[in-house]
């Protein structure tokens, strides 16, 4: 099977983005993979530190391995928002294809120091590394009832991005461009700062990552891909779909057999994944 780097390069060349879909239980994984099979799309399965501690690092790798073998699809696994070298190392040692080391709350110097430590270790393990510059902030488990305001000082600065990439040798860079984790209760978040994406892309040579893709206007997603976004993370919308699917079943039936009531949650997650893969343009790219 071709590597994750191959598919990220392909996304960059052919102007599509690979979706990273986070999970914390196998029902979500089944939903994501079923849609990838249907649309013949490469996918990245993502686990945050919290999700991976719940599911298990080695267990996530084992599931990826089984699904790769059974489907023949390019299915990859990424640690999302790893905060320490120790946990990133644990994910690399377990067999993750990529780790996202998030030092964005540190000073730029400290962020570079932490990320370099990870990239040096990951290199020998043939694991890719995603870094982050700029403050995305907020909480992917929340719905925001008031309009979320993006602070200018939190946006990724092109000069800092350039220095960071050159000194850390990361494979991908997550940026702050008006995006945020979570989603406004209306279901549609504010527009991205596409001018920021453009300036950063003109400054750095690596593929860019959009976190907080849930709720981002579709027109912005399409334009951001044209400007250099090669990976887009989706989590909140999947969590909402899963929870709503469960509520719909459990409030209308006395069913107690998990595989019967979990089907509703799986179906709702599949709808979101299919929508996103079609939006990102990765269908048929496996």
Tell me if residue 220 is catalytic. no
Tokens of 183: 């989603």
DSSP states along 91-148: HHHHT-SEEEE--TTS-HHHHHHHHHHHHHHHHHTT-EEEEEES---S-TT-EESSPP
- State the Cα torsion 43-47-52-55 to the nearest 10°: -50
Q: Name residue, tokens 């590394």.
A: 129
Q: How far apart are CA 60 and CA 148, in angstroms?
A: 33
Q: What's the number of CA atoms in the CB half-sphere (13 Å) around residue 74? A: 22
Q: How far apart are CA 33 and CA 11, in angstroms?
A: 19
Catalytic residue among 80, 171, 189, 220: 80
Q: How far apart are CA 38 and CA 68, in angstroms?
A: 15
Give the catalytic positions in this structure: 80
């Amino acid at each position: 099977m071709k590597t994750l780097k191959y598919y990220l390069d392909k996304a960059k060349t052919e102007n599509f983005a690979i979706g990273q879909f986070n999970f914390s239980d196998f029902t979500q994984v089944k939903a994501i993979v079923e849609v990838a099979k249907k649309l013949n799309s490469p996918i990245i399965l993502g686990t945050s530190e919290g999700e991976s501690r719940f599911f298990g690092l080695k267990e996530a790798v084992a599931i990826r391995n089984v699904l790769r073998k059974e489907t023949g699809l390019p299915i990859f696994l990424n640690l999302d928002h790893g905060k320490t070298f120790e946990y990133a190392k644990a994910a690399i040692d377990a067999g993750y294809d990529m780790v996202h080391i998030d030092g964005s709350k540190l000073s730029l110097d400290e962020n570079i120091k932490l990320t370099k430590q990870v990239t040096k270790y990951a290199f020998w393990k043939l694991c890719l590394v995603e870094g982050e510059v700029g403050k995305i902030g907020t909480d992917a488990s929340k719905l925001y009832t008031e309009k979320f305001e993006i602070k200018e000082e939190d946006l990724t600065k092109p000069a800092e991005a350039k220095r960071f990439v050159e000194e850390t040798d990361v494979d991908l860079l997550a940026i702050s461009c008006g995006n945020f984790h979570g989603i406004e209760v209306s279901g549609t978040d504010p527009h991205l700062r596409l001018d920021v994406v453009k300036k950063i892309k003109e400054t750095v040579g690596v593929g860019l990552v959009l976190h907080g893709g849930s709720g981002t206007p579709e027109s912005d997603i399409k334009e951001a891909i044209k400007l250099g976004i090669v990976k887009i993370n989706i989590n909140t919308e999947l969590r909402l779909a899963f929870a709503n699917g469960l509520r719909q079943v459990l409030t209308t039936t006395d069913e107690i057999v998990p595989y019967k009531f979990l089907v509703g949650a799986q179906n709702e997650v599949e709808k979101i994944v299919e929508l996103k893969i079609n939006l990102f343009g990765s269908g048929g790219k496996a």
